[in-house]
Amino acid sequence: MHTSAPENLLQAQGLEAGYGKIRILHNVDLAVRPGEIVALLGPNGAGKSTLMRALSGLLPWTAGDVLFDGKSLRGGTPRDAAQAGLVHVIEGHHVFTQLSVQDNLSLAGYDVRKHEREERIRDALAFFPEIEEKRHERAGALSGGQQQMLVVAQGLVKRPRLLILDEPSAGLSPVLVDRVFEVAARLRDGGTSVLLVEQLVEKALALADRLYAMAHGEIVLQADTKEPDLQRRLEEAYFGQHA
């Protein structure tokens, strides 16, 4: 019997999670379709990074479910999620500074055969010529912006079907921010879905197809980014004035 692919590549249903006895996420519903960019917006402390960690298996959830390509990720590890095609690029610079750029990327693809790993590294570096020319230098010698590019490239080596980018613009110059957003757009054009957590609201809205807004651990708004009067609706959602 033929069964069609699910409409949503990623779907969170009634998700609840937190740290110890402190519950951060409250009945969160969120979906990402194949080949689209979804922005997750909200003030500091809204629960955005907690949600990303729960989606990728870094944080267990206490209620609800997360489906990826129609299959539950319950009880899985971040490695299980990555092998399924869900790759989470965590906020901040997480590179091995004493290793070369090449070796950092090789570690990201440790679980694939050498020939395929080299191909994936070439493809990832093609997005970032700034670090491609420094592939044999120590990662610690890169600028902060270049290290952020390397972090994203590590995610690309895993050939994601869905790439979660958590605050990719943090600490970057405007020029490098535009480069990272350009990469996200190119990934979408190639069929990769992107879930983007970002504080630069205007840039995120210009890039994304749809958005969710969070406040106090809840989704308070979801909308198409081309809908009218979106900025006012976002402000109302942030300040708890939504219906």
How many Cβ atoms from other residues are within 10 Å of residue 118's Cβ? Answer: 15
Residue 106 lies in a domain: no
Instruction: Render pLDDT for 203-231 as a digit per residue (tens, 0 to 9).
Output: 999 999 999 999 999 999 999 999 988 88
Residue 118 lies in a domain: no
How many independent structural domains does the chain possess?
1
Instruction: Render pLDDT for 135-165 as a digit per residue (tens, 0 to 9).
Output: 999 999 998 888 888 999 999 999 999 999 9
15 beta partners: 28
Give the domain extent around 42.
Answer: 1-85+195-243
Instruction: Render pLDDT for 68-119 as a digit per residue (tens, 0 to 9).
Output: 999 999 988 988 999 899 999 887 667 899 999 999 999 988 888 889 999 9
Measured distance between the N- and C-terminal CA atoms of the chain, rounded to whole angstroms: 44
Residue 38 lies in a domain: yes
Residue 4 lies in a domain: yes
CA nearest 152: which of 189, 203, 104, 118?
104
Distance CA 93, CA 144 (A): 8
Total-model pTM: 0.90
Q: What is the CATH number of the domain that holds 66?
A: 3.40.50.300
The pLDDT of residue 3: 44
